[in-house]
Amino acid sequence: MKDKVAIVTGSATGVGAATAVMLAQKGCNVVINYTRSKEEAMATAQLVEQHNVESLVFQADVSNDDDCQSMVEAAIKKWGKIDYLVNNAGKTKFNPFENLEGLSSKDFLDIYSVNVVGPYQMIKAVVPYMKKQGGGAIVNDSSLAGINGVGSSIAYVTSKAALNVMTKSLAHVLGPEIRINTVAPGPIKTRWLKEGMSDEAYSALIEQAEKELPLRQVATPEDVAETLVWFLEGAKLITGEVLIVDSGAHLGSLPKYSSSED
């Protein structure tokens, strides 16, 4: 990955920041994108540049098509190419499923605009350059919520389901030059999740997961970043895949069958 160029959306904190740093460790120049967290984005840039690569900190809202185009053009102006795109920026509204009045049409549109339309617009912006240079790789950061229908809100889980299917649709037309895949993590130990829940609920979730999941671990941002980066640098014959990274959460509970004596 030495001297390659990557754009990581939503990379000021959390999984995005961990991915940017991991790419830098492998010699990749990185665009660090943020919407509001400028201070955190600058801190991530410092971590990236400690690995003797270049960074570009760029404020952009991926739900805005002009912002997406501008960010891609800035990367092209600085480095002349784009090898990798990580669609990590995400949005939700924490709302219990049973509270149907808790989500408005605007909530759905706001969440979809970042989680579905945003990745589409970023992909649309980078594809001409990747095709022209003869190759590239794209990976989307989705969620187990888009597979099992359980998450922070119905608007969020359905947006991630849409992102998963969009990955498969685009895989048909982006090849042979471009591979596109998606990672679907379960719960992750991030500020994003913690701020959406009460301290008690967050602690209970982590404690329960670490007791009951087959692998007894809850993912860190670095765990998810490792899989995102693998899809970029490896996986040369994989496209259109949605890979679950959740310590086995999607398997559900082991059935407790009655014995023959009961």
Q: What percent of the chain has pLDDT over 70?
A: 91
Output the CA–CA distances (angstroms, integers) from residue 256 to 167, 210, 259, in the order listed.
36, 20, 9
Secondary structure letter of residue 102 according to DSSP: G
End-to-end Cα separation, the chain, in angstroms = 60
Environment class of residue 8 by beta-carbon count within 10 Å: exposed (0-12), middle (13-18) or buried (19+)? buried
Q: Which residue has the tokens 């120049």?
A: 29
pLDDT at 262: 45
Catalytic residue among 34, 129, 156, 257: 156
pLDDT at 193: 63
CB 179 within 8 A of CB 228: no
CATH superfamily of 5-246: NAD(P)-binding Rossmann-like Domain (3.40.50.720)
Q: How far apart are CA 190 and CA 247, in angstroms?
A: 16
Return the domain boundaries, the chain: 5-246
CB 5 within 8 A of CB 84: yes
* Two tokens, residue 120: 């589409």
Q: How far apart are CA 136 and CA 33, in angstroms?
A: 19
Output the CA–CA distances (angstroms, integers) from residue 33 to 25, 65, 74, 147, in the order listed.
18, 14, 12, 27
Q: How far apart are CA 47 and CA 199, in angstroms?
A: 29
3-state secondary structure 104-133: CHHHHHHHHHHHHHHHHHHHHHHHHHHHHH
Strand (E) positions, 42-151? 55-59, 84-87, 136-141
pLDDT at residue 202 tops 70: no
When pLDDT is averaged across residues 98-126 and rounded to a whole number, the result is 98
pLDDT at 257: 59
199 or 65: which leads in pLDDT: 65
pLDDT at residue 261 tops 60: no
pLDDT at 48: 98
pTM metric for this prediction: 0.91
pLDDT at residue 245 tops 70: yes
120 is catalytic: no
Q: Which amino acid is at 78?
A: K
Q: For residue 251, which phi and psi values (nearest 5 degrees)?
A: -75, -20
Q: What percent of the chain has pLDDT over 90?
A: 79
CB 245 within 8 A of CB 223: yes
pLDDT at 146: 95
pLDDT at residue 190 tops 80: no
Closest residue by Cα to residue 10 from 73, 72, 88: 88
> At CA 156, angle to CA 209 and CA 195, rounded to 5?
60
